[in-house]
Structure 1
Amino acid sequence: MIAKAKSVKGSLAGALYKERPDKDHEIIYQNNMFGETAHERWEELRDIANLNTRLENKYIENVVSPPKEIGDQLSREDWEKLAKDYALKSGYGENQWYAVLHQNTDERHLHIYANRINFEGKNTIDSEKIGERSGKIAEELSQERGWKTAKEISSDKKADIRQCLENSVSSSRSWDQVESKMEEQGYVLELSYQDKNGVRTLNGARITPTEEYKGKEEMSRREQLSKKGYKLSEIDRNMKIKELDNKLKKNLEKSQNYGRSL
């Protein structure tokens, strides 16, 4: 599971974004709040936050995203418990916070918005290293539930991709063949080239599970920047595109020599 957190100034626009119709959202839980609309929730948060005139970033924005295969199976009650457990470990206590489930992407995820200011006007949530802490909390919650952590999931994916790529290269004579074999096994292989002094040179590759892949024309700007999949160096730092390319050339040469010997 992945969790991200940051302190923010907050705004009505930010609150409205979380509940846009295209987000296929659902309010999962509200703590010490009674608002029924995004406007009302923002006004409640702001009224309490304004009790503190010294702090600039008075809110915490969180995104909590379980692995797809788990998130797809969670009930509303499961999401509520996840939100409460995350908030408890994050130290929100009796402060105002609410959780919104977004279901418009491949991976269902929670947006949790918390007020750092309590009802006495005191800042009760330390923002130092909050992103790092949120990651550790996600790992703790994953372990408690028997879920794989983000690192474990990524490691498993990389191992599978490496095995698939190595097998495909070993049995191919061109990158077209490799791409086709990777596709058959559920991966999209994208090669990258560098143009220098009029010479086009292969300089890298990115491999993405087909279920996570979208063409650029289908992707939002945020999705394009997030770059699903892995570069070769991320799969294995010792895996080099030139070595794989040379392997294909040798395979081609062997097949040609064999054909001439017949």
Structure 2
Amino acid sequence: MIGKGHAVSGTRVSISYGWNQEKEAEVVLREHVAGDTPAEIAEEFRIIQSQNLRCTNNTLSFIVSPTIEDGKDLSKKELEVLAKKFLKEMNLQNNQSIGFVHRDKAHTHVHIYTNRIGFDGKAYNDSFIGKRSQIAADNVAKELGLTRVREVQQERLNELKGLRQEIKNIHDRVLQSRPKSLDEYISKMKAQRVEVIPTINKANQLQGCRVEYKGVNLKASEVDRSMSGNRLIPAISQNRSLTRGMEAPKNLQVLNKTVQLSSNLSTKIAKELVKGAVKIIRDTGIGYGY
């Protein structure tokens, strides 16, 4: 099961989408609301939201999606239980909420709209709400015996085991040629028909890479842990020299563009560089007075 979430400003528009009859919408959840139309529910939200006019994105929009197979068998009552447990995991069980199931596609999913402003006038903290929604959905799936995201991902990776090994073999050969930059690595991988796609966020920070091969697109780390950014970049850095390789780079040239390293990736790279330096010292005897 997958969970997504973000804060929005258009309460009535959002609820109207959820209540869209063309999508075979059906109300599966009501918490502290009584209205029978999007306008009435939005007005109930607005009354509470008027206590905190500083918060503009004052409605939380969630999508909770069981797998296709699980969704086929879930009744309206079971979807209500699922939605309530999700809100409890998000610590939103005491806020106004309305939830709808959409069955217009093979993939049954629930839209939940929750007032970000509580009855006390305080705004719910929406920091990392997307990630927290994923975790909440996974916890609910585990509790209800539904298929979890990690199980689906692992099954997919098992199906692609042969293809992943092909990519790993190409990666190993390219590293043996000792590329001295990430761009050189990307170029050499491309020459072997493996497209390496850097993942760069809005803050111009490199977070990792994806790879595309024979029509399949995967995170590099899903192919093999040695291909994750925190292991790949140190391996390339150490091709330049031991001294420079011991320092975690602050930024990198990627596809003719200078990008920063995310703090998380930078920290992991620093640890890998230290491990690599210690191994070189141990294997060569440098620093032991030999």
What TM-score bracket applies, with the shorter chain setting the length? Answer: 0.5 to 0.7
Offset at residue 164 of structure 1 (A)? 9.0
Offset at residue 49 of structure 1 (A)? 1.0
Deviations 1:148-184 (A, max 9, x none): 3212202202312445999xxxxxxxxxxxxxxxxxx
Tell me which amino acid in the other structure corresponds to 2:134. G
The higher-RCO structure (CA 8 Å, 6+ apart) is 1
5+ long unaligned stretches in structure 1: 167-200, 206-228, 239-262
Q: Structure 1 residues 230, 20: CA separation in 2 closer, same or farther (over 3 Å shift)?
A: farther
Q: Structure 1 residues 232, 139: CA separation in 2 closer, same or farther (over 3 Å shift)?
A: closer
Q: Structure 1 residues 83, 232: CA separation in 2 closer, same or farther (over 3 Å shift)?
A: closer
Q: Does 1:132 align with 2:119?
A: no
Offset at residue 118 of structure 1 (A)? 2.0
Offset at residue 63 of structure 1 (A)? 0.5
Query: The residue matched to 1:12 in structure 2 has which SS?
Result: helix
**1:153 matched residue in structure 2:** 152
Deviations 1:76-132 (A, max 9, x none): 110000011111111113210111101112210111100011233222x21111111
Q: Aligned-pair RMSD on alpha carbons?
A: 2.9
Identity of aligned residues (%): 29
Q: Structure 1 residues 154, 48: CA separation in 2 closer, same or farther (over 3 Å shift)?
A: same
Q: Structure 1 residues 33, 149: CA separation in 2 closer, same or farther (over 3 Å shift)?
A: same
Picking from 205, 214, 231, the partner of 2:217 is: 231
Q: Structure 1 residues 59, 164: CA separation in 2 closer, same or farther (over 3 Å shift)?
A: same
- Does 144-153 or 55-64 show the bigger shift? 144-153
Separation in 1, partners of 2:29, 2:73: 19
| TM-score (norm: length of structure 1) | 0.62
Count of aligned residue pairs for this structure pair = 184
Separation in 2, partners of 1:150, 1:58: 29
| TM-score (norm: length of structure 2) | 0.56
Contact persistence 1:4–1:62 (CA under 8 A):
yes
Query: The residue matched to 1:72 in structure 2 has which SS?
Result: helix
Tell me which amino acid in the other structure corresponds to 2:120. E
Q: Does 1:27 align with 2:27?
A: yes
Separation in 1, partners of 2:217, 2:62: 28
Contact persistence 2:164–2:223 (CA under 8 A):
no
Separation in 1, partners of 2:121, 2:48: 7
5+ long unaligned stretches in structure 2: 166-190, 196-214, 226-290
